[in-house]
Amino acid sequence: FCSKTNMEQKRYSSETSNVKCNEQSERAIYPLDALRQDISKVLSNISGIDHSLILNALESTNNMNKGDLILPLPKIDVADPVAVAKRWATELIACGSLGEVCARGPFLQFSFDQKYLLQSTVPSILLQKRKYGQERPRYQKKVVVEFSSPNIAKPFHAGHLRSTIIGGFLSNLYEAMGWSVTRINYLGDWGRQFGLLAVGFERYGNEKQLQKQPIQHLFEVYVKINKDLAKEENNGTSQSGIGGEARNFFKKLENGDEDATSTWNRFRSLSIHHYVQTYSRLNINFDIFSGESQVPKKSMDEALNIFYRNNFVEEKDGALVIDLTQWSKSLGKVVVRKSDGTTLYLTRDVGAAMERKKNLKFDEMVYVISSQQDLYMSQLFMILQKMNFEWAKDLKHVNFGMVQGMSTRKGNVVFLDTILDEARDKALQIMKNNKMKISQVNDPQRVADLIGISAIIIQDMKSKRINNYEFNWSRMLSFEGDTGPYLQYTHSRLRSLERSSSNFTTDMLVHADFSKLNEPPLVELVRLLAQYPDILRRAFKTQEPATIVTYLFKLCHQISSCYKKVWIAGKTSDIAIPRLAIYSASRQVLHNAMTLLGLIPVDRM
């Protein structure tokens, strides 16, 4: 049951009445916010129900056939919601941003007034540009996002890749929501295996190789020395030989020996230097390269002291153990210090968290780590909570599932660069099929890199984080269907449209007159654009990149169906300008969302 014509008549009379809507006194920055305000005002007027109650009960829709906003009446606790919905739908007055209202069972569905929608959405996108969709809260909060965190001298596996792109996205999202973000990379750079690496480097190390390809070279050295060690252990000589040397080196490292430390720092900083270059291909910059080796002994000692003081460590065969089952059965027991006095991954994480709280004073800290470490993270969080840190509640573990079957075409170990290179080469190969187009691209290598990266990122973010997925090169680099390259393609197509209509200035577009515009697909497109700020808020709540990816594909499908039917070429300016304004606003939203996900939109491809 809908009332539109009815409402149009009433709109006229309401303009002279004293029901004022859309005064924008509350911070109604985006069109959907204005619609929310207007609905709750007029509805509160006829029902007597508290304005803010209605405001909070309004939901955005994921299917535009259901209008732009929905009110489930059971949520505001009325008796006989079906009858009430029907009655309110007839009584409601179109007002400001509100155009149409329908009753569907116990739901009220509201739609924008078309004129309002076009007039308020399109120019504001064109003016706000990259800021469209972002939030500016009154108080800026601080978040620390820890992500990527590969292990030195070991391969950068799919788990690290997922952590990198999801963490990069989350950092951008927090920023868009007005937070100040510190991006931390917590390297796996500590442990006995690095004693082994140092011994290996003495045997197999090559200074030139180390400078050129530190990550790969250290890995190769590590593999070789591990083989030697295995042989030695078979012969039963591990105490005296490599094994012993490695233990010695690591002990020196733990005791802060200068030579050992400087060797180790060199491996570490060369690796970081190389990582920085690779991350920058992905448009990711870390504020801090921390790591297990960087946790001060002081903070771990303090942690152990608190364990003692709070009476929850016990000694077992010289080691220190916390029995977490006293708080939660499933958490088991954990060792926090070994019998030889060396610390562990977990203890370092406790110290690292304390250190970060002290230095960075975060309001929230997010760890982006695979679901394989779910139990581990619960243990860590429980310990911090039982240490009585009130900030333990501000820690979040954002997890994700596994990737099956990711390897290079040659089937060897994967390094991040190799993955990016393969994607780039494949993209370049496809680009070369269109000789005409590629001749217009300034830097085909660079563009191919960006397209390859989009393929990798979107493939990863298409479904919920927690899902496992099968890695598949050919599907990933298809230009057809819902892929990263398809998003890039849509963006570059809109860019080309803008280039070919550059006789219209931004000012003309911002002041476009939409009164003659009446193409339903274009209006639908603008309704989608108006949803974007809400999509960001939803993604922020769920911390799911898929929320944005799903939206983006909807947006791109709508753009292509407009493209087929609604033209600009050959039209007079009164028709061309409002159309172009909408296409241009769509490109902006596409650009904003792609950037948020970590893609760099291309202008030609």
Residue 151 lies near ligand ARG (rule: CB under 6 A): yes
Q: Cβ neighbours of residue 265 under 8 Å, at least 6 residues apart?
A: none
> Which residues ranging from 367 to 396 are in contact with ligand ARG (CB under 6 A)?
367, 369
In the bound state with ligand ARG, the residue whose beta carbon lies nearer, of 294 and 561, is 294
Judged by CB under 6 A, which stretch of 46-54, 144-152, 491-499, 506-514 contacts ligand ARG?
144-152
Distance CA 29, CA 43 (A): 21
Distance CA 144, CA 174 (A): 10
Distance CA 56, CA 52 (A): 6
> Which of 132, 186, 286, 486 is the binder for ligand ARG (CB under 6 A)?
186
In the bound state with ligand ARG, the residue whose beta carbon lies nearer, of 45 and 293, is 293
* List 75, 142, 154, 437, catalytic entry: 154
Please report how close the Cβ of residue 158 comes to ligand ARG at its closest, in angstroms: 11
Give the residue closest to ligand ARG by C-beta. 188
Judged by CB under 6 A, which stretch of 2-10, 105-113, 143-151, 387-395 contacts ligand ARG?
143-151
Q: Cβ neighbours of residue 343 under 8 Å, at least 6 residues apart?
A: 300, 336, 337
> Which residues ranging from 275 to 334 are in contact with ligand ARG (CB under 6 A)?
none
Please report how close the Cβ of residue 205 comes to ligand ARG at its closest, in angstroms: 23
In the bound state with ligand ARG, the residue whose beta carbon lies nearer, of 109 and 151, is 151
Q: Is 462 a catalytic residue?
A: no
With beta carbons less than 8 A apart as the criterion, state whether 152 and 268 touch. yes
In the bound state with ligand ARG, the residue whose beta carbon lies nearer, of 143 and 450, is 143
| Token couple for 196 | 């082994």
| Token couple for 58 | 């309004």
* List 41, 157, 274, 426, catalytic entry: 157
Distance CA 134, CA 151 (A): 35
Judged by CB under 6 A, which stretch of 54-62, 145-153, 293-301, 539-547 contacts ligand ARG?
145-153
Distance CA 307, CA 24 (A): 54
Three-state SS at 94: coil
* List 86, 160, 357, 426, catalytic entry: 160
Please report how close the Cβ of residue 418 comes to ligand ARG at its closest, in angstroms: 18
The sheet that has 364-368: what strands, in order across it? 288-291, 180-187, 142-146, 364-368, 395-398
Distance CA 91, CA 87 (A): 6
Q: Is 160 a catalytic residue?
A: yes
Distance CA 465, CA 542 (A): 10
Euclidean distance between the first and final Cα of the chain, in Å? 48
In the bound state with ligand ARG, the residue whose beta carbon lies nearer, of 186 and 222, is 186
Please report how close the Cβ of residue 171 comes to ligand ARG at its closest, in angstroms: 15
In the bound state with ligand ARG, the residue whose beta carbon lies nearer, of 376 and 504, is 376
Site string for ligand ARG, 339-358 (x = CB under 6 A): ----------x---------
The sheet that has 98-104: what strands, in order across it? 2-3, 98-104, 107-112, 69-72, 59-60
Cβ atoms within 10 Å, residue 441: 18
Three-state SS at 480: coil
Largest CA distance in the chain: 97
Please report how close the Cβ of residue 369 comes to ligand ARG at its closest, in angstroms: 5
With beta carbons less than 8 A apart as the criterion, state whether 322 and 333 touch. yes
Please report how close the Cβ of residue 467 comes to ligand ARG at its closest, in angstroms: 20
Please report how close the Cβ of residue 166 comes to ligand ARG at its closest, in angstroms: 13
How many residues bind ligand ARG (CB under 6 A)? The answer is: 8
In the bound state with ligand ARG, the residue whose beta carbon lies nearer, of 164 and 586, is 164
Strand ranges (DSSP E) for 313-391? 313-316, 319-323, 333-337, 364-368
Nearest to 170 by CA among 10, 396, 342: 396
Q: Cβ neighbours of residue 404 under 8 Å, at least 6 residues apart?
A: 468, 469, 470, 471
In the bound state with ligand ARG, the residue whose beta carbon lies nearer, of 376 and 473, is 376
Distance CA 551, CA 557 (A): 10
In the bound state with ligand ARG, the residue whose beta carbon lies nearer, of 187 and 593, is 187
Distance CA 273, CA 118 (A): 49
In the bound state with ligand ARG, the residue whose beta carbon lies nearer, of 33 and 292, is 292
Helices 545-565 and 520-542, packing angle to 10 deg: 170
Please report how close the Cβ of residue 373 comes to ligand ARG at its closest, in angstroms: 7
Please report how close the Cβ of residue 588 comes to ligand ARG at its closest, in angstroms: 36
Nearest to 166 by CA among 437, 451, 391, 469: 469
Please report how close the Cβ of residue 68 comes to ligand ARG at its closest, in angstroms: 41
Backbone angles phi, psi at 145, to 5 degrees: -115, 120
Judged by CB under 6 A, which stretch of 66-74, 146-154, 215-223, 438-446 contacts ligand ARG?
146-154
Annotated catalytic residues are: 154, 157, 160
Binding site for ligand ARG (CB under 6 A): 146, 149, 151, 186, 188, 349, 367, 369
